[in-house]
Amino acid sequence: MNNTKKPGPRAILLLGCPEVPVQTSLAIYLTDLLEKRGAQVVIAGNNAALELVRTSDPAGHYIRDTADLDGTIGALAQKHDDADVCYVFIHNDAGVSYLATASALVSGESVGIIFGKDAQALAQECDDLGLKHIWAKAVHNPRPLKSKVRSEVERWAALTK
Amino acid sequence: MGCIDEMKYEVLLSKVTFKQCASYLRSNYKELYIVPPGYHMFDVFIIGVPPIYVGVDGENIIFPYTKPCHGTFVLRINSQEEIEKLKKTASKVK
């Protein structure tokens, strides 16, 4: 009998610029939901975005693995890395570019999590490009997106069964 | 191939949307290529919404450079090496 445990699905979270307050809490919330579904989660971002995440979870209860954003894109582009699902945090036009890039590089699904004051326009832009996403106009309070994030993880987890 | 920060580069457009960047490249360069997302150029992997245009003007290569906090820039760098690589690996538009 083979007792080797199969590793769970791999999830990559690509964080955007951390200037919108809800990003850090949503990233930790999403990580917790994904890990409870058995996923191995890597959070990628620039230095400031990652330091906010690490500072919010000093004992490492939720965050297991972090990675540099540019390095992660490079690893995906060179096929040194891949993911079963990639969530891209979006609150500006650059975020849409990152989602389009992730969609082209990741063999699994790529889904945008859109927030901030321009959320509706960015969601429309993603629709026009055929990019999957969830969105809410959340800036300081993550509540409008929490249930959508939970539903999204449930949807994805159902697909992986 | 060098690090962009250490090269002599010119910023042609600053903090624009990717759509504006694509429109600028399409309208202003007679020699134009399309590269896939994640295309490796200098020390960066190109981020963008397909089709990602890259222009060539003489010995200069003109391309989009996206940063999470600042949007997209259009940079021009003199690099015969990158132009040769582009001609071998990218799809020519015009």
Could you tell me the residue range of the domain that residue A38 belongs to?
Answer: 10-156
- Number of Cβ within 10 Å of residue A140's Cβ equals 7
> B80 touching A, CB under 8 A?
no
Residue A161 covered by a domain? no
Do A62 and A28 meet the contact criterion of CB atoms below 8 Å apart? yes
Question: Which residues of A make CB contacts under 8 Å with B?
Answer: 15-17, 19, 45-46, 49, 69-70, 73-74, 76-78, 92-98, 100-101, 104-105, 129
Do A124 and B70 meet the contact criterion of CB atoms below 8 Å apart? no
Measured between beta carbons, the chain A residues lying within 8 angstroms of B39 are: 77
Angle at A16 between CA B46 and CA A8, to 5 degrees: 90
> B72 touching A, CB under 8 A?
yes
A73/B71 touch (CB, cutoff 8 Å), yes or no: no
Residue B64, preceding peptide bond in cis (omega within 30° of 0): no
State the pTM of this model: 0.95
Residue A31 covered by a domain? yes
Residue A72 covered by a domain? yes
Tokens of A88: 């891209």
Do A137 and A113 meet the contact criterion of CB atoms below 8 Å apart? no
Do A51 and A123 meet the contact criterion of CB atoms below 8 Å apart? no
Do A139 and A116 meet the contact criterion of CB atoms below 8 Å apart? yes
Q: A107 burial class (0-12, 13-18, 19+ CB within 10 angstroms)?
A: exposed
- Shortest CA gap A73–chain B (Å): 7
Percent of chain A with pLDDT over 90: 93
Do A157 and A149 meet the contact criterion of CB atoms below 8 Å apart? no
Residue A52 covered by a domain? yes
Q: Tell me what ipTM this predicted complex has.
A: 0.94
Among B50, B68, B70, beta carbon nearest to A100: B50
The CATH code of the domain that includes A54 is 3.40.50.10160
CA distances in angstroms from B18 to A124, B8, B72, listed in the order given = 15, 23, 6
**Tell me: the pLDDT tens digits for A108-126?**
999 999 999 999 999 999 9
- Number of Cβ within 10 Å of residue A13's Cβ equals 26
Number of domains forming the structure of chain A: 1
Q: Where are the domains of chain B?
A: 4-92
Measured between beta carbons, the chain B residues lying within 8 angstroms of A15 are: 68
Residue A4 covered by a domain? no
Residue B94 is predicted with a pLDDT of 85
The one-letter code for the residue type at A57 is D
B5, B45, B70: which is closest to A17 by C-alpha?
B70
Tens-digit pLDDT string for chain B (94 aa): 557 777 889 999 999 999 999 999 999 999 999 999 999 999 999 999 999 999 999 999 999 999 999 999 999 999 999 999 999 999 999 8
